[in-house]
Structure 1
Amino acid sequence: MKIGYARVSTVGQDLESQENLLMEYGCERIFVEKVTGTSTAQRKALQDLFDKIREGDEVYVTKIDRLARSIIDLNKIVSDLNEMGVSVYFIKDNLEFQAGDEGNSMQRLMFNVLGSFAQFERDLIVERTTEGRERAKAQGKHLGRKGKAEKDVKKAIRLYKERDQNGMSVTDISKLTGVPRSTIYVKVKEYKE
């Protein structure tokens, strides 16, 4: 059976182009997920793929960096699949690793070079993000979510105190005011103290 695997790192990214390419290659089942490729720990679809594949199956991935961004993880995943009797194909990288075949040395080299670039690219992203965060902090900029307006918080607290009369739950108050439930609880505790 031909099985596809598609992954993007963030919720805002689109899986459609990967899924379309995998379908063009005849994949009967496609496992998809939106999660970082730096670790395999949170990768439920990848684990599901491992649980469902059988000897003789073929796994198709659009590009090496979609499978993992760590050279160690890449090698382990492909080795584990090959040991299970499953062949792995990277469509855009034009690489294939057949079960029971050591492959040729040039393919193995290209696989490791491309995998190293994927890891390098990820490391650069992390480095730049950290530098940007540090620069913003040094300039006194607030990072993270923007806080709710004080008037909204006061309205939420007032509604919370009057909930016996208005019959509203904390969830109702949160939806009405836009103030997160956790903020309501924190502010109510602060006002009590």
Structure 2
Amino acid sequence: MAKIGYARVSTTDQDLETQLDRLRSEGCEVIRSEKVSGASREGRRELEAILAFLRPGDELTVTRLDRLGRATRDVLNLVHECEQRGAFVTVLDPHVSTRGDMGRVVITVLGMVAEMERRFIKERQREGIQQAKARGVYKGGKARLDYERIREMHRSGMTATNIAYQLGCSRMQIYRVLRLVAI
């Protein structure tokens, strides 16, 4: 039986250290972490690696439920997959585990709250953008990747995987940029 920690933040400029420290202090023998959105499971390689290697009796531990995901369906599917493998999910804040029936109910409610919170964040963001546009101060998001550099690297024969590795981003981002610049 292994206690496996999973830490996640949404963007590369966010810090994982607080989550990692907490998971270490809870006795997690293995900790996997990643900097990727929790809006869906797409591109979350570290989480997929954990799920692939879970054994009966293992415990997947996260600091908060929204680290597993922001969509109730995704969270419940993750919990179900763990249970199918005979493993448990433990959330540290608030402390709840799927070892008991009540824990499953609480995790379901927390998953719904995480999804609702994501919707509120998106709505506030949309409202803020609309207000900024009305004042004429909205400039759009800052470009995080240099599209021309990606195009040049691709033209020189580099694969999307190598480009992503060199630029510190996901392959999906590279594919999206290559699709956009091809238009």
TM-score (norm 1): 0.67
CA offset at residue 55 of structure 1? 2.6
Aligned to 2:78: 77
**What SS does the aligned partner of 2:61 have?**
strand
In 1: Cα distance, 2:96 partner to 2:141 partner: 43
In 2: Cα distance, 1:110 partner to 1:4 partner: 20
CA offset at residue 142 of structure 1? 4.0
Q: 2:111 aligns with which of 115, 123, 132?
A: 115
CA offset at residue 133 of structure 1? 1.4
Deviations 1:33-71 (A, max 9, x none): 111111111212111212232233211111111111111
Which letter maps to 1:9? Answer: S
Aligned to 2:140: 144
Percent of aligned pairs sharing the same letter: 42
In 2: Cα distance, 1:113 partner to 1:96 partner: 13
Aligned to 1:88: 89
Question: How many equivalent residue pairs?
Answer: 142
**What SS does the aligned partner of 2:8 have?**
strand
Q: Which has the larger radius of gyration?
A: 1
In 2: Cα distance, 1:49 partner to 1:133 partner: 37
Deviations 1:122-178 (A, max 9, x none): 11111111111122222222423679xxxxxxxxxxxxxxxxxxxxxxxxxxxxxxx
In 2: Cα distance, 1:117 partner to 1:81 partner: 21
In 2: Cα distance, 1:94 partner to 1:115 partner: 14
CA separation of 1:72 and 1:144: change in aligned 2, threshold 3 A: same
In 2: Cα distance, 1:107 partner to 1:146 partner: 41
In 2: Cα distance, 1:65 partner to 1:5 partner: 11
Aligned to 1:132: 128
In 1: Cα distance, 2:17 partner to 2:28 partner: 14
CA offset at residue 107 of structure 1? 2.6
CA separation of 1:95 and 1:135: change in aligned 2, threshold 3 A: same
In 1: Cα distance, 2:142 partner to 2:74 partner: 36
| Correspondences of 1:149-164 after superposition (within 5 Å) | none
CA separation of 1:131 and 1:28: change in aligned 2, threshold 3 A: same
**What SS does the aligned partner of 1:89 have?**
strand
Residues 97 and 104, structure 2, Cα contact 8 Å, conserved in 1? no
CA offset at residue 18 of structure 1? 0.9
**What SS does the aligned partner of 1:14 have?**
coil
TM-score (norm 2): 0.71
Aligned to 2:172: none
